[in-house]
Amino acid sequence: MKVVVIGAGLGGLSAAAHLHRSGHEVIIIEREAIPGGRAGMIESDGFRLDNGPTVLTMPQLLEESFTALGVEMSDYVKINKVDPMYRAVYADGSTLMVRHGREAMTEEIRRFSNSTEAAAFEKFCAWLTDLYRLEMDNFIDANFNSPLDLLKPWRAGLELVKMGGFGKLDKKVASFFSDPRLQQIFSFQSMYAGLAPYQALALYAVITYMDSVEGVYVPEGGMHQMAAGLADALVAKGVTFRYNTPVTRILRTGSGAVSGVELGGSDRLEADAVVCNLDLPVAYRTLLGGVEAPRVARRGLYSPSCLLWVAGVKGTPPPEATHHNIHFGADWVGSFKELINKGVMMSDPSILVTLHSLDDSSLAPEGHSSIYVLEPTPNLDGKIDWSRQRDRLTDRLRRQVADLGYPTEVVVEQMYDPLDWEAMGMERGTPFALAHTFLQTGPFRPNNINSKVPGLAFTGSSTLPGVGVPMVLVSGKLAAQRIDRYARDTAIVKW
Q: What is the pLDDT of residue 140?
A: 87
The yes-or-no verdict on residue 493 having pLDDT over 90 is: no
C-alpha 140/C-alpha 442 separation (Å) is 7
Domain 2-39+222-300+436-490 has CATH 3.40.50.300: no
Q: What is the mean pLDDT of residues 109-137?
A: 96
The yes-or-no verdict on residue 148 having pLDDT over 80 is: no
Max intra-chain CA distance, the chain = 68
Q: What is the mean pLDDT of residues 277-284?
A: 98
C-alpha 131/C-alpha 122 separation (Å) is 14
Q: What is the pLDDT of residue 492?
A: 56
Question: What backbone torsions phi and psi does residue 14 show, to the nearest 5 degrees?
Answer: -60, -45
Q: What is the mean pLDDT of residues 250-269?
A: 96
Residue 152's pLDDT band (cuts 50, 70, 90): confident
**CB neighbours of 385 closer than 8 A, spacing ≥ 6?**
none
Residue 494's pLDDT band (cuts 50, 70, 90): very low
Residues 369-404: pLDDT tens digits?
Answer: 999 999 999 999 999 999 999 999 999 999 999 999
Residue 64: closest CA among 123, 141, 168, 133: 141
Residue 495's pLDDT band (cuts 50, 70, 90): very low
Q: Quick count: other Cβ atoms within 10 Å of Cβ 482?
A: 21
Domain ranges within the chain, ordered by starting residue: 2-39+222-300+436-490, 103-209, 303-428
The yes-or-no verdict on residue 88 having pLDDT over 50 is: yes
Residues 337-373: pLDDT tens digits?
Answer: 999 999 999 999 999 999 999 999 999 999 999 999 9
Residue 139's pLDDT band (cuts 50, 70, 90): confident
Residues constituting the chain: 495
Residue 153's pLDDT band (cuts 50, 70, 90): confident
Q: What is the pLDDT of residue 141?
A: 82
Classified as helix, coil or strand, 375 is: strand
Q: What is the pLDDT of residue 44?
A: 97
The yes-or-no verdict on residue 261 having pLDDT over 80 is: yes
Q: What is the mean pLDDT of residues 114-118?
A: 98
DSSP track, 49-105: EE-S---EE-HHHHHHHHHHTTS-GGGT--EEE-SSSEEEE-TTS-EEEE-SSHHHH
